[in-house]
Amino acid sequence: MVGALYAAEDTPPDVLLEVAREFSPRLEVCGPREIVLDLAGLARLFGNAHTIAAELRRTAADRELRVRVAIAGTRTAARVLVHHYAGITVVDPGEEAAALSPLPLALLAAASSAPNSQFPTPDGLLTTLRQWGLRTLGEFAALPPDEVAARLGQEGVVWQRLASGEDPRPLLPAVPEERFEQTFDLEWPIDGLEPLSFVLGRLMEPLSEHLERRDRGAAVLHVRLHLVKTDGVTPTVHERSLQLPTPIRDARTLRTLALLDLESHPPSAAIDRVVVAVDPTPGRVIQFSLLTRPLPSPEQVSTLLARLAALMGEGRCGSPVAVDSWQPGAFGMKPFAPRDSNVLHPPWPVEAEVVANPAIALRRFRFPVPARVRVDAGKPARVTTDRPGLGGGRVEACGGPWRTSGGWWSSSDDDLRVSASPRPVGVTGVPWDRDEWDVTLNDGATYRVFRERDADHWLVEGIVD
Amino acid sequence: MPRPAVAILEAALRARKLDRTLTTALPSLERTDPSALVSTGVAALDACLRGGVPRGQLSEIAGPRSSGRMTLLLQLIAAAARRGEIAALVDTFDRFDVASACAAGVDLDRLLWIRGQAITRPQGSGLRPQGGHGPASLLERTVDRALKALNLVLQAGGFGVVAIDLADVPLVALKVIPFITWLRVQRTVEGSDTACVLVVPEPLARSAGGVTLTLGAAPQWAGSSDRSRRLAGLDLTTRVVSPRRRVQGEVVIKAQSSRLKAQDSTIGPWALSLVP
């Protein structure tokens, strides 16, 4: 047994929804003024269908709402009836086709109007049916289905079933939007992260269970700390939001991430209320491989990165990125998120797994070290620095100069000014113009030194290692 | 205790080999399973090491400045990425060069780079005076943070290779790190699939289960005249020491300059020019 509620005038949608929810949790919103609800089993509580319909109208009237009510065996019949008849309409199960038979064809549009309807508006169909001389739903339903299919296609048959009150699909209950939030009011304000960790743990566990029940994970974690009023008047809220790289619902991981973030951004006063909320997202489906070593789970990686960021500082942990620049030492950083490998199709040929002659590497000074270089016959003859531990000495062999320049086209006049202090490498967009030399000193080490041509400074860029 | 009882107890101990560590030499850790070893990415060195660097052990790459430590480490990381594993590098003084890593074939997406602090002006050795209880120096704090980061990465697990670059830390500062630190690292990594590698100026941890690669290098120059002379590469002499694993030997690896490689191959162009 299905009931349809139709508000006679424009009303706030929540009011009609509240009325419907008082009778059944299984309901489908068909528009701003129309709701269909499953009334199965309510007869034992209220009595027959007429009593239920009357009770529905009375409940709506209590909220100053005038509604039409139709109860029938099918959803389609109830919807068509509620659009046509005012007041209460009750049709016994099995009598839907007879009840709809005298109604005008235009009501087919009412049966198809829903937010998730799979049928288009039947304007063209109605015109065709009227040209055939049909006026009522009963006349359309009485046509032979095979003839309808031959002339209107399969869609015409579906409309014919609607005209006889049959449902094209079962009722799709609207699931109320769930809030994944936990709150804890403290009797005494707490100060410091250690006591807060216990509170967070107590909040995260039910939140994690709730997420697990609904097969959801947290996409964003919100922590709201209501602080004590420092001036006695103004309440303060310390709010942090953590974008999680992957859906997470493990309580310990969520608590650790929240605490690590609060270590970096501590609240300014004692806390008297803690609210934890998450933005839910569907859970992950993981397929492990028998052929490759498993990578750490996203939860482990997130926790590790948060711990490392708290220890080393923001932006100092991640994957290096080679940037599209000729600038020496230019690089970028991005979050560490290793992709799954595919052993069957590795990114490199298998035979390239070992090499005979590896490429030599440079150990680069992020801030080049100022050096004093004595030049004889156009070549460096002696290199010395003031850096303790970084020796200097006579040049045994050298190669160069390798001249490079760039960045002058995209910089302002301020950037072009000659700077006395060494500029950090790795920052793109900074102009450079220099001559590079590879030099082996008498201490046995090989360095890369360069002369800034605009300032005539010598600097040590790195050590060949 | 009566003598017969002592004899019975000794016999029982011998039967269960409970006194083995006291009466016999340590058992060899030689393992035939290739998955227990991490390829270094260099064929000759792998052959000498009978497969590579052991997993679950603390190994060292030691050598003076310009001895090819970073070259070898990048090969190790590149080989790990090629196997589909991920690697982590704790870069104590932020000396990692991304271009060198690209030239070595490192898949940068599979490398976690933990950048320490680039110290621009270290004062003296950077250590507190003997017996001093003042605040730790910048150098001490930087090294301490790097070791903590190493510990965090090892505890997280899942990495094929985890390396810490302590090559530029003054030897006097490395010597004051308590030896128990390396034992703790060894205990953390033990039993895992991670090969932990220290890059140091001198052998430091001397882990029994790991290998120590002691490097020395001679630069090779190409070009007959002053104007055409350029760095061709490094001849790395790698001495392998690992008494417990019974691998020992010396390998010479010819590392090639990336500039020469760029000239030999068609990748590029490089925005470099030799000024006459």
pLDDT, one tens digit per residue, over A190-232 is: 988 899 999 999 999 999 999 998 888 898 999 999 998 777 6
Q: If you average pLDDT over residues A299-303, what whole number do you get? A: 85
Interface A–B counts its CB contacts (< 8 A) at 246
Residue B88: per-residue pLDDT: 96
Which residue of chain A comes nearest to B67, CA vs CA?
A: A465
Q: Is the peptide bond before B4 cis (omega within 30 degrees of 0)?
A: no
**What is the band of A296 on the pLDDT scale with cuts at 50, 70, 90?**
confident
Helix (H, G, I), strand (E, B) or coil at B46: helix
Residue B63: per-residue pLDDT: 94
Inter-chain residue contact A462 with B114, CB threshold 8 Å: no
Percent of chain A's residues with pLDDT above 70: 88
Residue B267: per-residue pLDDT: 41
Inter-chain residue contact A342 with B84, CB threshold 8 Å: yes
Of B42, B149, B271, the CB nearest to A311: B149
**Whole-prediction pTM value?**
0.67
Looking at mean pLDDT, say which of A175-189, A228-242, A401-415, B57-71 comes out highest: B57-71
Q: Which residues of A touch B120 (CB under 8 A)?
A: 367
Query: Is B18 touching A (CB cutoff 8 A)?
Result: no
- Least confident residue range of A320-334, A338-352, A433-447: A338-352
**What is the band of A71 on the pLDDT scale with cuts at 50, 70, 90?**
very high
pLDDT at A74 over 70: yes
Query: Is B53 touching A (CB cutoff 8 A)?
Result: no
Residue B1: per-residue pLDDT: 55
Phi, psi of B46 (to 5 degrees): -60, -40
Alpha-carbon separation of residue B170 from B70, B174, B176 (angstroms): 17, 6, 10
pLDDT at A349 over 50: no
Inter-chain residue contact B113 with A366, CB threshold 8 Å: no
Of A292, A322, A399, the CB nearest to B98: A322
- Residues A30, A114 contacting (CB under 8 angstroms): yes
Q: Which residues of B touch A333 (CB under 8 A)?
A: 113
Burial class (CB in 10 A: 0-12, 13-18, 19+), B53: buried
Residue B14: per-residue pLDDT: 67
Inter-chain residue contact B112 with A336, CB threshold 8 Å: yes
Q: Which residues of A touch B153 (CB under 8 A)?
A: 304, 308
Looking at mean pLDDT, say which of A10-14, A164-168, A342-346 comes out highest: A164-168
Looking at mean pLDDT, say which of A4-8, A152-156, A459-463 comes out highest: A459-463
Inter-chain residue contact A401 with B275, CB threshold 8 Å: yes
Q: How far is A106 from A101, CA to CA, in rounded Å?
A: 13
Integer Rg of chain B from CA: 22
Residue A201: per-residue pLDDT: 92
Residue A369: per-residue pLDDT: 92
pLDDT, one tens digit per residue, over A122-161 is: 677 888 888 889 889 999 999 998 998 998 888 888 888 8
Query: Is B145 touching A (CB cutoff 8 A)?
Result: yes
Query: Is B258 touching A (CB cutoff 8 A)?
Result: yes
Residue B225: per-residue pLDDT: 82
Q: Residue A327 corresponds to which tokens in the numbers above?
A: 């600038």
Inter-chain residue contact A359 with B152, CB threshold 8 Å: no
Inter-chain residue contact B159 with A333, CB threshold 8 Å: no
Of A307, A360, A389, the CB nearest to B233: A360
Q: A360 or A9, which is more confident?
A: A360
Q: A325 or B28, which is more confident?
A: A325
Q: Which residues of A touch B235 (CB under 8 A)?
A: none
**What is the band of A264 on the pLDDT scale with cuts at 50, 70, 90?**
confident
Q: How far is B3 from B16, CA to CA, in rounded Å?
A: 20
List all residues 6 or more positions away from A174 whose beta carbon is below 8 Å from its beta carbon: A27, A28, A29
How many H helices and E strands in chain A?
A: 13, 17
Query: Is B245 touching A (CB cutoff 8 A)?
Result: no
**What is the band of A418 on the pLDDT scale with cuts at 50, 70, 90?**
very low
How close, in Å, is residue B145 to chain A by CA atoms?
A: 7
Inter-chain residue contact B168 with A342, CB threshold 8 Å: no
How close, in Å, is residue A116 to chain B by CA atoms?
A: 43
**What is the band of A342 on the pLDDT scale with cuts at 50, 70, 90?**
low
Q: Is the peptide bond before B269 cis (omega within 30 degrees of 0)?
A: yes
pLDDT, one tens digit per residue, over A375-404 is: 998 899 999 998 877 878 999 999 989 898
pLDDT at A236 over 90: no
How close, in Å, is residue B158 to chain A by CA atoms?
A: 5
Residue A345: per-residue pLDDT: 47
Q: For residue B228, how many other CB atoms are within 10 A of its CB?
A: 10
Q: If you average pLDDT over residues A325-339, what whole number do you get? A: 87
Residue A344: per-residue pLDDT: 46
Residue A425: per-residue pLDDT: 52
Q: What ipTM did this prediction achieve?
A: 0.81
pLDDT, one tens digit per residue, over B53-83 is: 999 999 999 999 999 999 999 999 999 988 8
Q: Which residues of chain B have pLDDT under 70?
A: 1-2, 13-34, 121-136, 243-246, 259-276
Q: Where are the beta strands (DSSP E) in B4-66?
A: 37-38, 53-54, 58-62
Inter-chain residue contact A365 with B41, CB threshold 8 Å: no
